[in-house]
Amino acid sequence: MRRKIFIGLLFGAIAAGGFASETDGIYSFKVGQFEVFMLVESERNGSTGIIPGADAAMIKRYIPETGFKQSTNAFLIKTPGQNILVDTAFGGAIFDKIKTLGLGLDQIDTVLLTHMHGDHIGGLQKDGKPLLPNAKIYLSEKEYSFFTKTQINQGAVAALAPYGSRVITFEPDALGAATREILPGISAIANYGHTPGHTAYLVENNGAKLIIAGDFLHVALIQIPNPDISATYDTDQKAAAASRRQILDYAARNKIPIGGMHMVYPAVGTVESDGTGFRFTPAK
């Protein structure tokens, strides 16, 4: 495995001490004493067709002529007491990567779901059996109710069914409010719009922080400098745009690194205000 030491601090928030390998699709770093691993499930050629609000001039300005990539990711957080997976993607390549890191799937204690689209819950079950047999599943009550009661999605229902009473719902806190930890060092932030209960997670340990923001964007090259542009996948495009701008502004003002499930490797970095939008610097 090719290794590269991640040196220095990202705005003083992410500490050195991991390995990075784009070839292996694993990017590791520390948030305080927590070990965090960004795991790539898949990478593909991107399409601006999913952001219809981007006009030709915008595409010409921000998208290289050679095209761009889109990724599907998940995050693994190893704390002193728990192994926590944020989303499962499809449960394909990321499960192999978890094993590469020395963990069995039965050693995943908790899954934090950002939302219930298939590319985030696809690794929860197969043939009615849990693929993470000892895990508790956390998701926002609003997300749970929407997909299992209001607008029933059979895939979502099936994904949660094998976990029974180990499915735990919560109410995320408003961004910037005094947050309550749902797990030691981890708070849930309401980031509604992509789906009705879409949730971001604030990871904090020893003064270091990271925001894992789920599907707050899909085409970073355009949506970071132009956060008002939403994707066709967003349930409420206006709310998604407002949430995206809010969380980017919060990350910039508070110098907190941010990562996402559809950002390309290393899928985590820092944000700065730049005119009416923002500028993103990937971790090195």
Q: DSSP string of 123-143?
A: TSEETTEESSTT-EEEEEHHH
Asked whether residue 18 is domain-assigned, the answer is: no
What's residue 2's pLDDT?
31
d(CA 168, CA 174): 19
Burial class from Cβ neighbours inside 10 Å (0-12, 13-18, 19+) for residue 139 reads: buried
pLDDT given for residue 20 in this prediction: 55
Domain annotation covers residue 57: yes
The pLDDT assigned to 14 comes to: 39
Is residue 66 in some structural domain? yes
Let me know if residue 181 belongs to a domain. Answer: yes
Residue 1 placed within a domain: no
The verdict on residue 147 lying in a domain is: yes
Written as tens digits, the pLDDT of the chain (284 aa) is: 333 323 233 333 333 334 456 789 999 999 999 999 999 999 999 999 999 999 999 999 999 999 999 999 999 999 998 999 999 999 999 999 999 999 999 999 999 999 999 999 999 999 999 999 999 999 999 999 999 999 999 999 999 999 999 999 999 999 988 789 999 999 999 999 999 999 999 999 999 999 999 999 999 999 999 999 999 999 999 999 999 999 999 999 999 999 999 999 999 999 999 999 999 999 98
Number of folded domains that form the chain: 1
Query: Phi, psi (5° rounding) for residue 240?
Result: -65, -40
Q: State the DSSP string of 226-280.
A: -TT---TT-SSHHHHHHHHHHHHHHHHHTT--EE-TTSPTT-EEEEEEETTEEEE
Torsional sign, CA 277, 253, 202, 96? positive
Look at residues 5, 36, 104, 47 and name the one whose alpha carbon lies nearest to residue 231. 47
Query: pLDDT value at position 21?
Result: 65
Domain containing 92 — which CATH number?
3.60.15.10
7 inside domain: no
Nearest partner of 204 among 226, 169, 180, judged by Cα: 180
* pLDDT value of position 100: 95
User: By residue range, what is the domain housing residue 229?
Assistant: 25-282
Q: What local confidence, expressed as pLDDT, does residue 36 receive?
A: 98
- Flag whether 230 is in a domain: yes
